[in-house]
Amino acid sequence: MRAVHRILLASCLIAGGSASLPAQSVAKPLSLWYDRPATQWVEALPVGNGRIGAMVFGGPTRERVQFNEATVWTGGPHDYARPGARRQLSQIRALLYAGRQAEAEALAQVHFMSAPLRQRAYQAFGDLRIDFPTIDSASVTEYHRELDLDSAMVTTRFLVGGVRYTRQTFASHPDQVVVVRLTADRPGSLSFAVTPTSAHRWHLRKAVGADQLSMQGMVEDGVIRFEARVLVRADGGRVVLDDTSATVTGATSATLVLAAATNFVSYADVSGDPLARNDASIARARGRSFAAMLAAHVADHQAFFRRVRLDLGSSAPNDVPTDQRVLRSKQHDDPQLAALLFHYGRYLLIASSRPGGQPANLQGLWNDTNTPPWDSKWTVNINTEMNYWLAESGNLAELAEPLFHMLRDVSETGRSTAREHYGARGWVLHHNTDLWRGTAPINKSDHGIWPTGGAWLAQHLAWHWEYGGSRAFLADTAYPVMRGAALFFLDQLTVDPRSGRLVSGPSNSPEQGGLVMGPTMDHAIIRDLFDNVIRASQTLGVDAGLRSELVSARARIAANRIGRLGQLQEWLEDRDDSTNEHRHVSHLWGLHPGREITRRATPALFDAARRSLEFRGDGGTGWSMAWKINFWARLHDGDHAHRLLGNLLTLTGSRDTEYKGGGVYPNLFDAHPPFQIDGNFGAAAGIIEMLMQSHAGEVELLPALPAAWPEGRVSGLRARGGFEVDLAWRAGRLAEATLVSRQGGPVVVRYGEATRRYETSRGQRIVVRF
Ligand code: FUC
């Protein structure tokens, strides 16, 4: 007990709290913690290694570790393009120009949509159920459950009859397994039975050798086969296996190692062997101690996590359970709660997106149902992009690799869609994709026909180059994909007979107003894409002919327009409605994440964008509010951005689909509702935009600092041009900034109206004061 007391006292001091606080009510500053087990999924705590994810519930008598593997999906390899769809294209456009939208949508619904109409769904995998027959729930005291973001580990501990039980769960990237460590501080007091359960009807379980359980099966609707394997190791006590469970009796500690794999190799290849994959993971784990696996995991995680530090000034220590802390923040401002949300966003990206794996989907990696909302796919008319907004600026650039891999995939599968639906060169992705990299328009013609999903995603390739400066990346990965996207739009843009300008269409302004010609968003995205291809081809010294075609087409694309209400028009026609609070704010793309609307370069459009944003209001779904944080930051209104952050940080419970409301669940997962991870990532990215921006050719310091954060510091942010940026501020003013130049080259640093210009050499560190 004395040792335990010392540990608690130490964590008390680390938390900056007072040693007189009750022992169980303190936690590490960067942790989410609770004084009770999770009773629902959105209270459980997530761990992940980019491929295997788990949600830990922490029940004392029954633990539930619900897990996923990123490639368990319905369906199989398939080309979704509709052969010959292009034959209807000119008729659809003609109907739209003639104002016959309903007829255009009806025609498109029959002849222009994906075959089949819907894409496939991400699936649950199963649970590890761990039953503790000797623990009496009524005698549990000092219960504590926490997710420490710094070590990426969930710990549950409690006392029963003088015995302290501790469980530690983490998902290791180096070892490709989830590890659950169970200990009792009195020898021989640990007894439990572990049972893997499946979310799929077609499965079988069996014991493998003396210490493994296997659960194999396949999805009902598709070709994915899977296996989960559990290795059970106990220190002291006995392990007995049957074909469903492993029973451990009288142990002092035990380690469960969970491996999970499928036959998925790529969108076109399902010839993998899940059993062989798990054999390899288990064989590696068998030779390693728990301590060695833990050390490798923590080192791997911290190499990412510790790159950025954020301190938003003083607020209460982390001394109330996190859900109650969210509630309390409505009465007492708690800037460090925003810092916790920021770090949680970075944590979730580290846990859900690792090179070689799938990109974070609508729920990242975590999913407890076989019918998840929107199939937990990749929706690319905002959601997937938002997932990766923080990767470059938040110093996690390597974690965007799965997104780039997916882009390479859709640049292949999107060729048949470009050809069959548009008779166009290059490739196209509409508003969704799945594990099989569907690219054709899905669901309904009024919102599924939106051809700029791939072009928007291609912005991330340009960013990776702008922030990281790798010519090899530009030449080998970014340019071929961006070039193919640009070729598509050279063929897809047509002349608007009314204005003589080039317009995109048929399309829609996501996801309202129906099928139209020329939504503002498309044009902003296409201009940005063309700019990136023009610049990249110059840098690489290739494609001079294509470059001049792009330059002349770009100049002819329909321009942004300011409408009768002083707003930035969402469509070619001035039909915006000042009472429209739709969650999508697509027409402001040029303000964020684009860069064509800025205060200094385009002041009239900048004011019009603000007007449009005022009309949309301060509510919305989770991701909508997260986007608005970024918009208000770009508009240099820190207090308004902070108000949106506060609206997003509102506790909710509902998992039913609602198109207004937003908020966070007790485990700080963002609520659309239902849970959608984009809001977590978008909020983290928005906090960076409040503190530093670099899209307008300058590194701007504290562009949108709210009055609520008078003191603070941040380190390790990244700016375009290859700079690492540290900042400190006091009394609401910049104290000092340090830039480290990773590539060398010029930089303009701005604070308010003042600027400084520097020439830097590679590795140079400059200290900036204004
Ligand atoms: C788009 C959005 C919804 C939701 C879904 C996954 O359809 O309009 O709000 O985020 O994607």
Whether residue 560 has pLDDT greater than 80: yes
pLDDT category of residue 399 using cuts at 50, 70 and 90: very high
Residue 111 phi, psi dihedral angles, 5° rounding: -115, -10
Question: Which tokens go with 675?
Answer: 């849970």
Angle between helices 520-540 and 453-468 (to 10 degrees): 40
- What confidence tens digit (pLDDT) does each residue in 420-465 have? 999 999 999 999 999 999 999 999 999 999 999 999 999 999 999 9
Window from 6-15, 375-384, 512-521, 748-757 with minimum mean pLDDT: 6-15
Q: Indicate whether residue 583 lines ligand 1 (CB < 6 A).
A: yes
Asked if residue 434 lies in contact with residue 73, where contact means CB atoms within 8 angstroms, the answer is yes
- What confidence tens digit (pLDDT) does each residue in 477-532 have? 999 999 999 999 999 999 999 999 999 999 999 999 999 999 999 999 999 999 99
Beta bridge partners of 568: 562
Q: What is the pLDDT of residue 709?
A: 97
β-pairing, 238-241 with 745-751?
Answer: unpaired
pLDDT category of residue 655 using cuts at 50, 70 and 90: confident
- What confidence tens digit (pLDDT) does each residue in 665-718 have? 999 999 999 999 999 999 999 999 999 999 999 999 999 999 999 999 999 999
Q: What is the mean pLDDT of residues 756-760?
A: 98
Q: What is the pLDDT of residue 17?
A: 31
Q: Is the pTM of this model over 0.85?
A: yes
* One-letter identity of residue 39: T
Q: What is the pLDDT of residue 26?
A: 60
Backbone torsion region of residue 519, taken as left when φ is above 0, otherwise alpha when ψ lies between -120 and 50, otherwise beta: beta
CA-based max dimension of the chain: 84
pLDDT category of residue 609 using cuts at 50, 70 and 90: very high
User: What's the 442 CA to ligand 1 centre distance in angstroms?
Assistant: 13
Q: What is the mean pLDDT of residues 718-747?
A: 98
Q: What is the pLDDT of residue 13?
A: 29
User: What's the 638 CA to ligand 1 centre distance in angstroms?
Assistant: 27
pLDDT category of residue 151 using cuts at 50, 70 and 90: very high
Share of the chain above pLDDT 70, in %: 96
Residue 32 phi, psi dihedral angles, 5° rounding: -100, 130
Q: What is the pLDDT of residue 452?
A: 98
Question: Which tokens go with 67?
Answer: 């897990």
Q: What is the mean pLDDT of residues 318-338?
A: 94
Q: Indicate whether residue 511 lines ligand 1 (CB < 6 A).
A: yes
> What's the mean pLDDT when you consider all of the chain?
95
β-pairing, 225-235 with 253-262?
Answer: antiparallel
Pocket test for ligand 1, best of 379, 584, 627, 655 (most atoms within 8 A of CB): 379
Q: For 399-451, where are the alpha helices, taking DSSP H only?
A: 401-422, 445-448
User: What's the 676 CA to ligand 1 centre distance in angstroms?
Assistant: 9
Q: Indicate whether residue 681 lines ligand 1 (CB < 6 A).
A: no
Q: Return the half-sphere exposure (C-beta side, CA atoms, 13 A cut-off) of residue 329.
A: 29
Nearest of 154, 157, 132 to residue 142 by alpha carbon: 157
Pocket test for ligand 1, best of 119, 122, 367, 374 (most atoms within 8 A of CB): 374
Asked if residue 741 lies in contact with residue 762, where contact means CB atoms within 8 angstroms, the answer is yes
Q: What is the mean pLDDT of residues 358-369?
A: 98
Whether residue 2 has pLDDT greater than 50: no
> From the alpha carbon of 623, which atom of ligand 1 is closest?
10
Q: What is the pLDDT of residue 653?
A: 85
